[in-house]
Chains A and B, each alone.
Chain A
Amino acid sequence: MKLDPSFIWEAFVKLLPVIPTTLLITVVSVACGFVIGTAVAFVRIYKVPVLHPIASAYVTFIRGTPMLTHLLIIYFGLPMIIDAVSAQLGLGFRSASIPMIDFAFLAFSITAGGYMSEVVRSGLLTVNRGQIEAAYSVGMTTPQAIRRIVFPQAMAASIPNLANSFIGMLHASTLAFTVSVVEIFAKAQIVASTNWKFFEAYLAAAVIFWGLTVLIERVAVILEKRMNLYNRGGVA
Chain B
Amino acid sequence: MKKTMIGTAGLALVAMTVVATGCGAKNDANEAGANASGSAQTDNASGGNAAADVKKIIVGTGTQFPKVCFLDENGKLTGFDVELVKEVDKRLPGYEFEFQTLDFSNLLLSLETKKIDFVAHEMEQNPDRAAKYLFNKEAYAHWKTKIIVPKESKATFKNLDDLKGKKVLTTATSAEATLLETYNKSHDDAIKIVYTNGAANDTVSQLTSGRVDATLGADFTLSLIDPQGKLESVGDALEEADVQFVFRKDDPDEQKLADAVDGALKEIKDDGTLSKLSVQWLGADYTQK
Contact = CB atoms under 8 A, between A and B. Distances in A.
A180 interface: yes
A190 B200 contact: no
B195 A210 contact: no
Indicate the size class of the contact surface on chain B. Answer: 35 or more
Contacts of A58: none
Contact of B172 (A96, A190, A211, A218): A190
Contact of B129 (A94, A196, A211): A196
B15 to A, nearest CB: 11
Interface in A86-119: 94-96, 100
Nearest to A215: B5
Contacts, number: 98
B20 interface: yes
Interface string B84-114: 0000000000000000000001101100111
A196 B108 contact: yes
B66 interface: no
Interface string B106-137: 10110011100000000000101101110000
A3 B20 contact: yes
B8 interface: yes
Given A8-B13, A180-B206, A193-B174, A198 B195 contact: no
Interface stretch (A20-28, A35-43, A148-156, A199-207): A199-207
Dominant secondary structure at the A interface:
helix
A26 B13 CA distance: 25
A196 B197 contact: no
Interface residues of A, number: 37
Given A3-B20, A8-B13, A203-B13, A193 B173 contact: yes
Interface of B: 1, 5, 8-9, 12-13, 16-17, 20-21, 24, 105-106, 108-109, 112-114, 126, 128-129, 131-133, 169, 172-174, 177-178, 181-182, 194-197, 199-200, 202, 205-206, 209-211
